[in-house]
């Protein structure tokens, strides 16, 4: 999918909130949920939080937790604030291959940035 198209669709929930069109907002959030991958889930999560799209926020956060091992290797991960990293790493549903080793091995990658 073309990146510009995704950016345009990402702006629609904001416009819908502004103009009170929940049907279009819902459709756009569902579309963005289907587009989630390890390269964009953190950005979509931040977008959903900013624009109070609770379903999309839940989907993006759950995706981050399920695919944590891939997410930490993406550019979006190193742009997170310290609090955002800690919130993600504190999740009980964080899926990593070796719980302690993988979780704490990702912290220095963030700190090195």
Closest CA to 27 of 41, 1, 46, 9: 9
pLDDT at 106: 58
Whether pTM exceeds 0.75 = no
Most confident of 21-35, 61-75, 85-99: 61-75
Structure tokens given for 19: 């103009």
In this predicted model, what pLDDT tens digit does every residue of 81-102 receive, in sequence order?
989 888 888 888 887 765 445 5
pLDDT at 38: 94
């Amino acid at each position: 999918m073309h990146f510009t198209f995704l950016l345009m669709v990402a702006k629609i929930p904001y416009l819908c909130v502004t103009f009170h069109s929940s049907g279009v907002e819902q459709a756009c959030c569902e579309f963005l949920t289907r587009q989630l991958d390890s390269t964009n889930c953190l950005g979509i999560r931040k977008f959903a939080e900013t624009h109070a799209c609770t379903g999309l926020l839940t989907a993006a956060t759950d995706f981050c937790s399920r695919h944590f091992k891939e997410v930490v290797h993406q550019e979006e991960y190193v742009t997170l604030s310290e609090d955002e990293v800690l919130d993600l790493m504190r999740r009980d549903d964080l899926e990593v291959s070796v719980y302690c080793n993988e979780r704490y091995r990702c912290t220095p990658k963030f700190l090195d940035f």
